[in-house]
Chain A
Amino acid sequence: MIRIMLGNWFTLPRVGSDVFSKLMRQARLRYDREKRMFLVEPETNIATLTAILREALKEEVVIELPCFVCGKSAGCGDCEYLEICDRTTVSNQCICKDCFGMDAYEHYCDLFTKKLAAAKVKI
């Protein structure tokens, strides 16, 4: 099984030039030659990416969303909404069970403000 956590660089087994070309051209995946790692970008077509990898590697491809609050995996495999969440088309960050507690929305908003400040965007 291949796990891809969105927003994190990941490696793939050797896939051959045809598949690599499909990953770049059709799925619009980003590749860093120095690191030899891949990254899912906002313009990446995740449905196409998973289909290409599944066909080429004959393995299940699991997309994991990161938690916006703590940055760890959102725990998609154990999520109560697993069946109704299409991780190939949803916004690339979610919230994990641990961060989904009391005043979770307020924490989420505060963290967004901090990330804005970190990006040096003043409003």
Chain B
Amino acid sequence: MMWSEKYRPKSVKQMIGNEETRITFLEWLVNWKDGSKPILLAGPPGTGKTTLVKAVVNELGYDMVELNASDVRTKEKLQSIIPSLLSNVGVLGKKTLLFLDEVDGMSARGDRGGFATLLTLLKKPTIPIVLAANAEVGEQIKELKRVATMLKFKRLPPRLLALYLDHILKMENASVSIGDKIRLIGVSNGDVRTLLNEAQSLATAGFSEGFQPTDFSVDIDKAIATFFSIDKVEEALDILARSEGFYNDPRFAGYDSEKRRTDKLAALFSSIVTSNVDIERMADMLNALAYADVMIGKMGRTRQWRLLRYIDTILTYKLFNASRGLAYNQYDIPFVLMNRVFREARLIREIIGALARNTHISKRRAANFLPYLLFILSKSKFDVDEFLNANNMSPELKELVEGEIARLVKVVKK
């Protein structure tokens, strides 16, 4: 059983972090009376929104009806489920609480009137209603804040995560080294669920998505060079598996220079595209990388980190014949240029991500709209600070946005 489920707190007292938010939520439910405003819990995944609701419901003796907003997003579905729930209060002799998760997945304008219907239903609650969302800004959240009280959940500070990890490891009679603990906490990025999943992988299988035990590791350059030169496929697989590198999907975690350097897929890619092999051989190898890249993306989206271990095998067997005699090459473009390209690409991905979240469109569509949006921004009275603040973006992006606008204006003038 996954530790994240096994040790999911049964009581609000067993949780960690967001202390004031927990107390405020309890106060709201304990003092709830007919007509009290619903609560909107907003914050990143793994910070305890669902756990808090489940724990409090358990402790205060409520029956909880849990709906995922993305499953009941049309007006018809909402009207067939929620009003009957609101009118059946007390029939079973137990208080009922309605928990509507992922409300930010509903479209404020689309979804055939579903969101508007939800807003109407929330105005006169006859039972406690709790909404949960990962986003803290956006059109829906703005509308929801008019009818519900918003409580923000934040990521947990690393030392609190360490406190909880120590407690779980003690319960499991397991241990990890101090270095691994710090790295686990770094990988989890304030998300308790990720922390426990990663810790369980490391403590039980000696493997974690974010890193591999250092005593096994071989430098990425040596590992890839040996991978290309070795004669036996089993040995090639072994050296790839023991390299210090890992598989990381920058769409989820972003890239810094160290991650870029130790990304096995990137190291193989740069070595292949800078080689002098014929076009068919290169196409075969790039197809293999593309297949692995798609698999890594799927594993990331579904949080199946454990499956990443099979990528080494897939790549080795798909690449082995075509890649004999290649040399390791870390960068396919000059380092100075690449550093800038990757830094800016990461920042632009951040902007696109925030726009996509706020407007509930895909990142691809947000990327298409971005130049137009920046051009409009250059012609409007809005300043960049306001734009960043309205979209909850980091002020660090100011320089980049201004640079992009300047470049855009220059191109349009030409």
Contacts and interface: CB of A to CB of B under 8 A. Distances in A.
Interface residues of B, number: 44
A1 interface: no
A49 to B, nearest CB: 10
Contacts of A84: 158, 182, 185-186
Contact of A68 (B19, B60, B151, B167): B19
A95 B18 CA distance: 13
B161 to A, nearest CB: 8
Given A47-B394, A80-B182, A90-B156, A42 B21 contact: yes
Given A26-B389, A123-B60, A91 B26 contact: no
Nearest to B20: A42
B385 interface: yes
Contacts of B16: 105, 108
Contact of A89 (B60, B155, B162, B166): B155
Contact of A90 (B12, B22, B190, B395): B190
B254 interface: no
Contacts of B157: 65, 74, 81, 85, 87, 90-91, 93-94
B182 A81 contact: yes
A80 B178 CA distance: 11
Q: Is the interface of A mostly helix, strand, loop or mixed?
A: loop
Interface residues of A, number: 37
B20 A51 contact: no
Contact of A45 (B21, B163, B389): B389
Interface in A93-122: 93-95, 100, 104-105, 108-109, 112-113, 115-116, 119, 121-122
Most buried by A among B18, B19, B155, B167: B19
A73 interface: no
Contact of B30 (A91, A93, A104, A121): A121
B167 A105 contact: yes
A48 B389 contact: yes
Interface in B84-117: none
Given A90-B155, A108-B16, A112-B19, A81 B26 contact: no
A105 B163 contact: yes
Contacts of B234: none
A79 interface: yes
Interface in B222-281: none
Interface in B1-60: 12-14, 16-23, 26-27, 30, 47, 56, 59-60
Contact of B152 (A42, A80, A122): A42
Nearest to A25: B389
Given A104-B163, A105-B163, A121 B26 contact: yes
A103 to B, nearest CB: 9
Contacts of B12: 112, 116, 123
A43 interface: yes
Nearest to B390: A26
B363 interface: no
Most buried by B among A48, A80, A104, A105: A105
A43 B159 CA distance: 23
B164 interface: yes
B191 to A, nearest CB: 12
A8 to B, nearest CB: 14
Contacts of A115: 19, 23
B26 A95 contact: no
Interface in B284-318: none
A100 to B, nearest CB: 6
Interface in A48-65: 48, 51, 65
21 contacts: A42-B20, A45-B392, A48-B395, A80-B159, A84-B186, A85-B158, A86-B155, A90-B155, A90-B157, A91-B18, A91-B154, A92-B154, A94-B159, A100-B163, A112-B12, A115-B23, A116-B12, A116-B13, A121-B27, A123-B59, A123-B60
Q: Which 7 A-B pairs have the closest CB atoms?
A: A81-B158, A51-B395, A105-B167, A91-B17, A94-B157, A91-B154, A84-B186
